[in-house]
Structure 1
Amino acid sequence: MKKMLALLITFALILALTTACTNEASEKETDENSNGTKTIKVVYKDEGPSNPVAKAYFSNLEKALKEDKQLDVKFELVEMPQGNYAEKLNLLLMSGEIPDLIYFQGGDQQIAEQDLLEDLTPYIEKSEHIKNIIQPHNEERMKNYPYLLWIKPLDSKTPVMRKDWFDKMNSSTELMENPSVDNYFKFFQELVESPPGGSGKPANAVTVAGDITELDFIFEMAFGINQTWIKNGGDYEYSKVSAQEKEKLAFYNKLYTAGLLDNQYLTKQWDTKEKAFYDGETGVIVGTNGKIIDIYNGKMKQVNGESAEVVVLPPAKGDFQGFAPTDITKESRGLAISSQSKNKETVFQVLDYLASAEGQMLDRLGFEGEHYESTDSGINLTEKYYNEWYARFWEPAEFEPEKPLLTPLLSEPAEQSRELAYEFYNTDNSFIIPVELISKWDAMENLYKEFSTDIITGKRPIDDFDKYVEEWLKAGGDEVTEYANKNIK
């Protein structure tokens, strides 16, 4: 009996001690989160803990925030599995694990509809820096959809190729003077039939990553598709069921059949597309204007020599000319703050800091001694900067560091791609699909992808276009078209 009593007393003491320690740890955690170090959980494509550059970036950001803003934060990076990022992210969020700061590249709308994303409008209005750098197209998108923020230049994509090859081609001058669809075909034909590299390459003239979206940036507007919804008589018609779309798909089939469009384009990913470009297996690829073109230019020269810098090609010219219309309904990608986060104000403080001159030194220029050298006379950007660095967060139109930049932020081809993107800027008239029509819209888009692929690859004749339109209308096209004609102003 005495032994039992002693055991009970011992157990009670252990329980009391454990409870006290737990309470103390809990109080410490609460105190740390409110007054000390705040842990911010971040999920960001390709910027997980297995990426050494990402780890260094966020470690440097922690130090900068503490020194410049007396903001004590610790970033916890979430590792995302390989595969479709939007799908993997949604699985993570649906599991109940919702980070404080979330990068979306699709799939955000269904999360926003569950009130899991914070409306960023009031944060921006009272911000110190972000409100001063946000650009007109960002403002329009935020008015329509206030959950994603992505302060970057216009995201139009531009086609590029090696300049040393371009200079050897007979059709180059004609293409630049008159970039008609026919002249583009002749240019592509020469690339394959009379390889300027002289080694039997490239195997094709142009490749794209998995679907025809990138190809559309070159050709779509030339075929008269200058907006998502185009006028047919007095009413709006979805461009992907229009006569103009039929003509465009027939041309893509012509490219594919002639071996000018990479016959393996459906299986290409961004990395294999770029590898084919650097290795000379394809002549032309498409990339987002500005920094991405900068990276293409740096890597191309790194692999093939200085003479292989890239040259930016113009958009095809026809009924219209441009690198596809710019969607202003919402950001197609961007950063969101979880509405469930206990650190919402702190997270936005971080985002606002990155818009400041000090924050931009890290975000825009990278690591001192690695991506840039600071001297008494100014800042020199290194080759490593041009070859690999990109801003993880913001790229305001104006950036003036404390010391002058002795080398430009963008290489000449990258700057030219940006200038062309703004020269051919054209707003779209697309809209956010209402919740009740989203499932039908997804089915309609899948129908289009399947049909357009079959037409391009020759599995179905172009004459089947009318059958596809009938299927599209039955799948929900009639309802969406009616909605469009009531709501497009």
Structure 2
Amino acid sequence: MKKSLLMVVTALMVVTTACSSGGSKSPSNSAAPTSAPAATTAGDATKEPVTLSIVAKDLMGDDPGVQKLMKGIEEGMKAEGKNIKLKVVPVQSGTYSEKLGLLLQSGNIPDLIYFQGGDYQFAVTQKILEDLTPFIDKSTNVKASMNVFNQERMKNYPYLLWLSPLNSAVPVVRQDWFDKTASGKDLLSNPTSDNYYAFFKELKEKSGAKYAYTAAGTLDELDVMFGQSFGLTSTWIKGDDGKYAFGKTTQFEKDKLLFYAKLYKDGLLDPEFLTKKWDTKEKAFYDGQAAIMAGTQGKVIDIYNNKSVSQNGAAAKVMTLPPAKGKAQGYTPVDISKESRGFAIAKTSKNKDMAFAVLEYMAGQKGQMLDKLGVEGDEYQIVNNKIKLTDKFAAWFPHFVESTVNFKPDKEFDPATPYFSEQASKSLQMFASMSTKDNTFVIPAELASKWDASTAKYKEFAADLVTGKKSAADFDKFVQDWNAAGGKEVTEYANKTIK
């Protein structure tokens, strides 16, 4: 298993960029920290514990697994001389970023805050996020667990820390259904958009699926496969005149959307792709309604594989599909402008050093063993001096450190229960070998509303063109509307900013 992990780590290190859906982000105006902190301030384990409040999307105080995780962190840190008590702050059900916003606006600002979108407006208006650079500079475990993409993103936006593989999607198909097709072999040797179209048609026919490809409310999950093949090699495309234009306003985008419209018209694209959520998308795949979906490479592909096999049998393991080949080939260009999610430390916290100490502990070997594998005797056992995952492990997932860059267990995994399946490892390797760096940048606060307005114009038009409500003749009008909504000003800024 050490060899398997080494392959995964190597794959991660080969990539030279970080993930994105192709858009740009808005920045924070957080002020510099009030002092240069020590990254791992030691507390006196004999004194009363320091209470740290924490809020995160998947941390629910009444969840037995979360309670076990919090207890494990407290006990592990106490053994290292840092006596803390973690208090999980509840967030109302609903869209996490919105509900977190209500929590913060109420004045209840936890010490540790996990953001999944929405950090920009809070940082700009309330200036509540601490610059993590001084903490990271003095760290050991966090620094060792950062890949080059984390490092570049932190330079651009030093407020969110997310120790994770690139949060980018790759498409997967059921292996048994792929094997039923004759066009699959041609596809792998020459994955053009035309060959993909032929493959989709045969796949739908041979598998009995209702449609070939499903997505959760966005075309981004189709773009991971097709975007670069149509020439969309970056968010901003340099023209013959030497100036940059927003890729989604170019002929490349028009050609891509017309291809998607053909998929939609011919019943190869899920007709409900605009309204589907991630859970209904995945259900459509597991239930055999859809043949292909995209998911984050690595651990998510592992989950897809396990659930597919569990529901449909051993032959239904998943395989990662390559990006289409055309004007270029690659998965979605990777955004290095900022982390799109991650943990922040509140500027209002009275215990910033200890708050970072939690992140530092979780990036160490003991913290990663707990975060990734659970509790010995429950989620895993040591059998014949090897780590053997139990049935309970299927319900456990990391909350703090998904990356395997600095994950070095002192024992090998039992071959029957590897940490990453063959499919998950392959997805990491394929992404590492077929990804490129994007040229996105952090949108300044004064242009954020214009960027949001122009982005909304694009999403509306793209959906209408794909579903047949608009035609190719409407594309030029869309570009005019995009510019009028604020795209013109953002484009001018892009041409001043991109080097």
1:481 is matched with which residue? 491
Structure 1 moving runs of 4+ over 4 Å: 31-35
Distance across 2 between alignment mates of 1:259 and 1:230:
31
Distance across 2 between alignment mates of 1:453 and 1:36:
57
From 181, 185, 209, the equivalent of 1:202 is: 209
From 52, 76, 92, the equivalent of 2:64 is: 52
Give the AA of the match of 1:164. D
Distance across 2 between alignment mates of 1:78 and 1:288:
27
2:268 is matched with which residue? 260
Distance across 2 between alignment mates of 1:325 and 1:470:
26
Check the 8 A contact 1:33/1:39 in 2, yes or no.
Answer: no
Check the 8 A contact 1:228/1:429 in 2, yes or no.
Answer: yes
From 374, 397, 404, the equivalent of 1:366 is: 374
Give the AA of the match of 2:435. Y
Aligned to 1:429, what secondary structure does the other structure show?
A: coil
Distance across 1 between alignment mates of 2:328 and 2:271:
28
1:25 is matched with which residue? none
From 114, 121, 125, the equivalent of 2:137 is: 125
2:431 is matched with which residue? 421
Aligned to 2:410, what secondary structure does the other structure show?
A: coil
Deviations 1:50-109 (A, max 9, x none): 433222221222222223x13222222122223221122112111211111111111111
2:8 is matched with which residue? none
Question: For structure 1, which runs of at least 5 residues remain unmatched after alignment?
Answer: 1-30
Cα RMSD after superposing both structures: 1.7
Deviates further, 178-187 or 388-397: 388-397
- Larger RCO (CA under 8 A, 6+ residues apart): 2
Alignment of 1:369-448 (within 5 A): 369-385=377-393, 387-394=394-401, 395-407=403-415, 408-448=418-458
For the structure 1 residues 50 and 191, does the alpha-carbon distance in structure 2 shift closer, same or farther, using more than 3 Å as the test? farther
Aligned to 2:206, what secondary structure does the other structure show?
A: coil
1:453 is matched with which residue? 463
Matched, 1:163 2:175: yes
Aligned to 2:475, what secondary structure does the other structure show?
A: helix
1:223 is matched with which residue? 230
Check the 8 A contact 2:190/2:325 in 1, yes or no.
Answer: yes
Aligned to 1:302, what secondary structure does the other structure show?
A: helix
Alignment of 1:30-429 (within 5 A): 35-67=47-79, 69-113=80-124, 114-192=126-204, 194-196=205-207, 201-233=208-240, 234-385=242-393, 387-394=394-401, 395-407=403-415, 408-429=418-439
Give the AA of the match of 2:304. Y
Distance across 2 between alignment mates of 1:456 and 1:50:
43
Check the 8 A contact 1:154/1:422 in 2, yes or no.
Answer: no
Larger Rg: 1
Aligned residues: 452
Give the AA of the match of 1:83. G
Check the 8 A contact 2:45/2:82 in 1, yes or no.
Answer: no
Give the AA of the match of 1:226. T
Instruction: Give 1:370 deviation, angstroms.
Output: 3.0
Distance across 2 between alignment mates of 1:443 and 1:167:
45
Distance across 2 between alignment mates of 1:292 and 1:380:
20
Aligned to 1:149, what secondary structure does the other structure show?
A: coil
Aligned to 2:114, what secondary structure does the other structure show?
A: strand
Distance across 2 between alignment mates of 1:34 and 1:341:
23
Give the AA of the match of 1:230. I
Distance across 1 between alignment mates of 2:106 and 2:52:
19
Deviates further, 70-79 or 334-343: 70-79
Check the 8 A contact 2:231/2:328 in 1, yes or no.
Answer: yes
Give the AA of the match of 1:436. E
Give the AA of the match of 2:146. I
Distance across 2 between alignment mates of 1:341 and 1:93:
13
Check the 8 A contact 2:216/2:281 in 1, yes or no.
Answer: yes
TM-score (norm 1): 0.89
Instruction: Give 1:34 deviation, angstroms.
Output: 12
Distance across 1 between alignment mates of 2:283 and 2:487:
39
Question: For structure 2, which runs of at least 5 residues remain unmatched after alignment?
Answer: 1-42
Distance across 2 between alignment mates of 1:464 and 1:52:
54
TM-score (norm 2): 0.88
Instruction: Give 1:369 deviation, angstroms.
Output: 2.5
For the structure 1 residues 384 and 282, does the alpha-carbon distance in structure 2 shift closer, same or farther, using more than 3 Å as the test? farther
Check the 8 A contact 2:388/2:414 in 1, yes or no.
Answer: yes
Aligned to 1:266, what secondary structure does the other structure show?
A: coil
Instruction: Give 1:376 deviation, angstroms.
Output: 4.3
Give the AA of the match of 1:121. T
Determine what percentage of the aligned residue pairs are the same residue: 50
Distance across 2 between alignment mates of 1:150 and 1:457:
36
Whose helix fraction is larger, Structure 1's or Structure 2's? 1
